Amino acid sequence: MTRFRTALFAGIAGAVLAALPTATTAMADDAKRIGQVSTTFRLLGRNDRVVVDRYDDPRVDGVSCYLSRAETGGVKGTLGLATDPNRFSIACRATGPVTLKGEVPDNEVVFDESASFFFKEVRVSRLFDREKQVLVYLVWSTLSLGTDGSAFNSVTAVPLAR
């Protein structure tokens, strides 16, 4: 399944905005918000918070990943203009019989979501440890346009039935 997402970026003069489509393959379906907690009170706009979303792996039946991440509040966060911090965690679990849907690559991005108005994304990659028959899920962040990504990451693993 291919999913297109549009992100806006500022032109050199900051006056011209253009759309930048990005495509990814085998993306997880949209997130299901499980819940959230407020972490910092903001007088204007929504509070800072930690959210927990569930993503189901599109190529593996019976695996759900729960991703917690910080979201910036305030006026910028409420308007979607804030950059969320690189604080996240992941836990993937077998929620039923784990079954691969066809051939699963050794390394594939199964989910990504914008974490700022400009180009920052949180991604979840699935790595396949064929020797041990384990699916390893890694959450990490990236910045586009030649800037460095983040060393912040979290990992979890789901064994295949033997």
Residue 107 token pair: 């390394």
CA distance 143 to 145: 7
Residue scoring higher pLDDT (29 or 160):
160
Burial class of residue 141 (count of CB atoms within 10 Å of its CB; 0-12, 13-18, 19+): buried
So what's the pLDDT on residue 143? 65
In a domain, 21, yes or no: no
pLDDT tens, residue by residue, 15-63: 222 222 223 345 556 789 999 999 989 889 888 899 999 999 999 999 9
Global confidence as pTM: 0.72
In a domain, 37, yes or no: yes
pLDDT tens, residue by residue, 101-147: 999 999 999 988 766 555 577 889 999 999 999 999 999 887 655 55
In a domain, 112, yes or no: yes
In a domain, 59, yes or no: yes
Q: At residue 80, does pLDDT exceed 70?
A: yes
Q: Which residue has 């979890």 as its token pair?
A: 156
In a domain, 32, yes or no: yes
Report how many domains make up the chain: 1
In a domain, 16, yes or no: no
Burial class of residue 149 (count of CB atoms within 10 Å of its CB; 0-12, 13-18, 19+): middle
So what's the pLDDT on residue 113? 76
In a domain, 115, yes or no: yes
CA distance 17 to 107: 34
Non-local (6+) Cβ contacts of 146 within 8 A are: none
Q: Which residue has 């060393």 as its token pair?
A: 151
Domain that holds residue 87: 2-10+27-159
Q: Which residue has 């920052």 as its token pair?
A: 120
So what's the pLDDT on residue 21? 29
Residue 141 token pair: 């962040």
In a domain, 60, yes or no: yes
